[in-house]
Amino acid sequence: MDLNRIKQILSSSADIEVKYNGVSVWIDKVNEDGKTATVHLRGPNQFEERSNAEISQLIEE
C-alpha cells in the first residue's frame, strides 16, 4: 500500500479492512518517518497491542 492510500483510509468513515502479515488490523496513525504506521489488531483485544508496520507491507482487502 502507499502513503496516500493510508491517509485516505485514516480520513474515511468507512470500515476498510487492512491486513498486516495476514492479520486484520486497524491503522492508528502514520509515523513521522512516512514509511511506517502504528497499527493494532481488530477484535476483542484490539487495544492491547500496538505495532509499527512498514506501509509497504499493509494490504487492503
Q: Does domain 3-60 have CATH number 3.90.226?
A: no
Mean pLDDT, residues 21-36 taken together: 94
Q: Is the pLDDT of residue 1 over 80?
A: yes
Q: Angle at Cα 47 formed by Cα 39 and Cα 49, nearest 5°?
A: 60
d(CA 23, CA 4): 22
Mean pLDDT of the chain: 91
Domain ranges of the chain: 3-60
What type of residue is 41? L
Mean pLDDT, residues 31-47 taken together: 85
d(CA 40, CA 34): 18
Q: Is the pLDDT of residue 55 over 60?
A: yes
